[in-house]
Every structure is written in C-alpha cells, then in structure tokens.
Structure 1
Amino acid sequence: MLLALVQVGGTLGAAHNQPARRPVDALAVGLLVLGPAAVWFGRRAPRLVCAVVVATTGLFLLAGYPYGPVYASLALALVFAVARGHRVTAWSGAGALVLADAVGRIRLDRDHWSWGTQLGVVGWVLVILAVAEVVRVRAERAASFRAAVQERRRRQAGEERLRIAQELHDVVAHHMSLINVQASVALHLADRRPENVEPALRAIKAASKEALAELRSLIDVLRDDGPAPLAPAPTLAALDDIVERSGHAGLVVSKSVEGQARALPAAVELAAYRIVQEAITNVVRHAGAHHAAVTLGYGAEVLTVRIDDDGDGGRRHADLVPGNGLRGMHERAAALDGTFSVAASPLGGLRLEAGLPVGGGG
C-alpha cells in the first residue's frame, strides 16, 4: 500500500535527524505497516479501525520511535470515524494518543520535555479532528440534499400517478358510460325502430374513438421512451362535445355562461373540463335525470363551475357516500387551491359546484 510505504520510508528518513529517539527496528516497521493496513477497512468498521490505528500509533510513540508520517494513518482513521458518526470514539482515541505521546516523551527524555512541545502535538491532533468534523458536516449536508431530492422525486412521481389515475378514471368512466347507454338504446330499438339504431351506433363509434385517443395519450406519458403526447389537453371549448354526446345518451344538457368568457390557464381549463365531464357521467349513470344544466361563471379571480340536474340525488344528498368520481372532482379543485361542494339543486337533483382560482383573471 502507498500509505505504508510513505510511513515506513518517511520515518526512516526522519530518523537521521532524531538521534535521541529509538532507532527504527522490525517492531517499528510492523507498527508503521499495521496502521495503513487497518485503514483499508475504514469504511466497513470505522470504530474498530480507529481503535487499532490509535493503538498502533500510541505504541509507536510510547516506544520512543522517531516522529514522522506515522500520523498519516491516524488522520485517515479519525476522519473515517467522525464522518460515520462515531465522534466519541474518534475524540477519545485522539485524547489517548496525546497521552501516549506525553508519556513516551517523558520516558525518553524527562529533562527536555516541555509544555510547548506537547501543546504542538495537541494542536496537530485538533487540526486533524477539525478537518474530520468538516468532512462529516459536508457529508451530512450532501446526504440531506440527496434525501431531499429523492423525496421530491417520489412526491412528484406520486402526484403524477394520481393525476394519471384521475385522467384514466374520468376518460374511461365518461366514455364507457356513454357507450353502455348507447348500446342499450341500440339493442332496445333494434326491432322496434331500426331507423334510430344508426345514430346510436355513430355515437358509440365517436365516443370509443375519442376514448382510445385519450388513452393512447396517457399511455405514452407512462412510457419512459415514448413520444410526448401530441393531442392538446381538453379545454372548456370542448364542452359542446360533452353536451352533444350526452344528448345521444338521452340526457338533455344545457350550457350557459355568466360573465365574459375568456382564455384561462391550461390547468384551470383542464380541471373545469374534467369536473364537468365526471359530473355528467355521474348524472348519466346514477341520477336517473332527464336534464342537466352546466353553468360557467367567469369571475375576476375565480372560475365557477356549476352542474345541476333534475334526478333523484337531491333527496338523498345528505347521506351521499362520495365515490371515486366525487373524490376526483374534489381533488382536482383542491390541487388548484379551489373549492368543491355538493348540495341539493333547485332542479330537484344535485348541484355540484367548484370554484377554481384563475390567477387574477388568467
């Protein structure tokens, strides 16, 4: 090992200028090699390595061998121990080493021992420990930064999974519900009024085509190597399609606008579109309604989205258990720091109302 060669060679060179110290012999060479050999395992067992290196260095100094690069392996062992959080072991070992050096000096030449020289050794040991503490702090900061980055990535991945799950639920639930209703209508009219079967089949074709396109776009997002989705996100301008498709399913949907309609941030328009889509889906599937009214209120700071129906939900809204649809609408509003509420509608059914902040008017 390079460190062992440095310690042995450096100590042999330094011995020429320290005739009063004990000559380098086989024991000294063994101690000079044992320290670097132990440092090799510093990352696996820092406390044990620190103890071994302190012991070998202390024996070297107690024996009165020449000063030199014997402190090199000690410095590495202390840095490894402190960096791994074993500060008590490192500081205790450093204190024991200073004591061993003092005892060795007194044994070798009591008359020439001085506090100044000993304080110099203490100073060098403190410098080594200070460097070790700096390494520890930097390592802890780096670990904290990496943990924060990983946590942020996990959170972003979780938010993305939630968003995709919401999109999948809304797309599948809406289009499949319309397809189911239209298929039922087609089967019902196949024998009685076959001329009305074609419009139902056309509606099924259009709904399934749109559902497949949106599903492909979402699946492309899930593929790491897939292309970015080319289809634009749905906007409030596409609500007319929901109104038309719902009419084919037997639900008459009207749309009205309060205030001055204008372009809004994409996230707001997507959330509003999905809330209306899911609300109409719930009406078609569960409410037994004949009419639904969608109202968009363009305020200066908030877009109000209100959906009323004349189904049977108004009588039991107090006991309504929120399903995935209602939870999804609430989550979409909450993601924009908006509000969402469910109440009885003047039409007799349910009123779903969301308030979505538009960022000072979009």
Structure 2
Amino acid sequence: MWWMGVRPELVTAVVLSAGTGIQLLCPAIGPGVTLVVLCTFAWLRPARVSMWGLAGAVLLGTAATASTGHWVAAALSVVGALLAWSWGALGRARSARRQAEARRAVLEERARIARELHDVLAHTVSVMVIQASAADDVFDLDPAKARKALRDLESSGREALAELRRFLLTVRSVDDERAGEPQPGLSELDRLARSVSTAGLDVVVRLDSPEPLGRGVELSAYRIVQESLTNTLRHARASRAEVVVRVADGHLLVEVRDNGRGGGRLADHGAGHGILGMRERATMLGGTLDAGPDPAGGFLVRALLPTAQRTTPEDST
C-alpha cells in the first residue's frame, strides 16, 4: 500500500492485471484485493483519472468471469467495481470539501485579523498625526499648548499600543475564558469621544442605555463608530460630530453625523474601503449600513444591527 501512495496508476494497473489472471486460474478467490485497490485509486486521484481504472476493472473483471460462463459472477464483478470506485470517489470529494472549508476558514480569519488591525490602528494613528501637526503649528508661539498637544500625542500612542496588545491577546486565545481583556464595546464610546476631541473634533455621544448585547454586536457597533469618526477627522473638515446609539424594534441603531462637507466625502475615500469595511461588519451580523451626505448638512453613517446576534468570528475568538 506504500507504493499506492507513490505510484497509484502503476500499482492499480499491475493489481488489476494480476487480479484478472488470478480469477482466470482460481475463480473462487474473488476480486477482493482488486476492489480495495480500485477504491484507494479513486480516493487518491480525481475522477477524470480514476475513471480509467474503473473502466479497466470492469472490462478485465467481466472478461475473466464471463470466459468461464459465470454470468452472474460477471454482473457482480461490475457492481462491485462500481461500488468500490464510488466509495473512493465519495471519500475524495468529502476530503476535498473539508480542505476547502479549512482554507476558507483560514482566509476568513486572515481577513478578520486585517480588518481588526485596521480598526485598531487607523483611528489612533489619524488622531496622532493631527495632534503632531497641532503641536508643530504652535510650537514657537505657544509652547504650553504645544506641550499639551505632545502629551496628548503620547497618550494616544500608549492607547494604541494597549489596544494592539489586547487585540493580539485575543487573536492568540482559543476560547473566551482565555480571551484576556474584553474587546471594546458600547461602554468605551465616551473614552473614544474624548480621544477624538483631543484632535480638535467635538464629539457628543448619546447612548440610550441599551440592554445587554452580544459581544460581536457591541464590538461591531464600536468599530463602526470608530471608523466613522476617523473618516470625519480625515475628510470632513468638520468641527462637531454626534453619535447616537439606541435599541429600537429588535435592532441596535448606530448613527454618526458631522457638520462637515458631505458632498465630496465618498470621492475622498478612493475605493471606499472604510465604508466597505463597516458595511461588511453590519452584513456579517445580518444588519445594514448606509453612508452618504446628510440632507440636513454634513455626512451621515447609519447602521442597523440585529440584537439577536448570529455567530461571528468575534464570538468564537
């Protein structure tokens, strides 16, 4: 059988030929070994290749038994060959499906990690860039204000490192009991707003004390707010943003609106990866997300996330 794994075509041809000769000499022995080899061949090779083995087994087996006048044995030989080949081909198909599912799971996990890293770093780095720019602008005219901006910059950097460590601990964990620190949720929105405010954007959070929600829902809501505020800092030229989070009709409503320019915002996003990422988060939970200019002025991101949460990668981390 070791040779079967190395040269399955050669082994199958030899065994089929030898089996035919044995059946001609001693029909009582039967085609047992031949069928085992045929089944293994169908498992090891795709159907377009193993079909030749099936055809050979049927032709040789039928010729060997029919030549002795045992037509019932010939029919049983054909049925046996078909069953053996089908069993091997089915095993190969199941194995291929499992491998495809494993590859898909790996790709999904890589995408999740990339998305989380983007969310963890993009927001804080954007804030740090603005804080550094502010410190540079007032360094000579107002050293005290520059020092404050630098202290805010240091604080943002430490916060980014802490969140990155927390994320890496979560990625390494196998189950919730070893997940380290919890992922950010709705209770962290005020801290997020204070962080953004240090970059010059006044953020108001209106959180209507939602009922306890699944970790995946809270994390997705937090990331949507975080990405929306990051985009506002980058593109909106806004001075104020409002975050509204409340539960209504079995859904968590998340709205982020600003008073910046709304018309050209989508073009500024290039391919719109930030909005696509937020929409993907909402879709994974069975929700929706819309983003565009607000009729009242500025830009609006609105997400509806079902509170009855489906299983997501964040829940199984």
1:234-313 alignment, distance < 5 Å: 234-258=184-208, 261-313=210-262
1:1-362 alignment, distance < 5 Å: 43-45=8-10, 48-50=13-15, 52-53=17-18, 56-57=21-22, 60=25, 72=29, 74-81=31-38, 84-85=41-42, 86-102=53-69, 121-124=70-73, 126-127=75-76, 130-220=79-169, 229-258=179-208, 261-314=210-263, 321-359=270-308
**Ranges in structure 1 where 5+ consecutive residues have no aligned partner:** 1-37, 61-68, 103-120
Residues 173 and 194 of structure 1: CA distance in aligned 2, closer, same or farther (over 3 Å)? same
TM-score, normalising length: structure 2: 0.81
Counterpart CA distance in 1 for 2:295 and 2:7 is 76
Counterpart CA distance in 1 for 2:23 and 2:88 is 29
142-151 or 88-97, larger mean C-alpha shift: 142-151
Residues 195 and 51 of structure 1: CA distance in aligned 2, closer, same or farther (over 3 Å)? closer
Counterpart CA distance in 2 for 1:319 and 1:289 is 14
Q: CA deviation at 1:201?
A: 2.2
**Ranges in structure 2 where 5+ consecutive residues have no aligned partner:** 43-52, 310-317
Counterpart CA distance in 2 for 1:327 and 1:125 is 62
Counterpart CA distance in 2 for 1:75 and 1:348 is 79
Counterpart CA distance in 1 for 2:31 and 2:95 is 30
Counterpart CA distance in 1 for 2:160 and 2:146 is 21
Specify which structure has the bigger relative contact order, considering alpha-carbon pairs within 8 angstroms and separated by 6 or more residues. 2
Counterpart CA distance in 1 for 2:274 and 2:6 is 58
Residues 247 and 330 of structure 1: CA distance in aligned 2, closer, same or farther (over 3 Å)? same
Count of residues paired in the alignment: 295
Q: CA deviation at 1:317?
A: 5.0
TM-score, normalising length: structure 1: 0.71
Of the two, which has the highest radius of gyration?
1
What is the RMSD of the two structures over their aligned residues, measured on CA atoms? 3.2
The residue matched to 1:298 in structure 2 has which SS? strand
Counterpart CA distance in 2 for 1:200 and 1:39 is 70
Once the two structures are superposed, what CA deviation does each residue of 1:54-108 show, in whole Å capped at 9, x if it has no partner? 5533664xxxxxxxx6764853124423653522211211121123334xxxxxx
Q: CA deviation at 1:124?
A: 4.7
Counterpart CA distance in 2 for 1:257 and 1:163 is 27
Counterpart CA distance in 2 for 1:299 and 1:278 is 23
Q: CA deviation at 1:342?
A: 1.4
Q: CA deviation at 1:202?
A: 2.5
Counterpart CA distance in 2 for 1:41 and 1:170 is 48
Q: Is the 8 A contact 2:220 2:281 kept in 1?
A: yes
Q: Is the 8 A contact 2:254 2:304 kept in 1?
A: yes
Question: What amino acid sits opposite 2:22 in the alignment?
Answer: T
Q: Is the 8 A contact 1:39 1:77 kept in 2?
A: no
261-270 or 317-326, larger mean C-alpha shift: 317-326
The residue matched to 2:238 in structure 1 has which SS? coil
Residues 188 and 71 of structure 1: CA distance in aligned 2, closer, same or farther (over 3 Å)? farther
Q: CA deviation at 1:204?
A: 1.5
Q: CA deviation at 1:282?
A: 0.7
Identity %: 32
Q: Is the 8 A contact 2:120 2:164 kept in 1?
A: yes
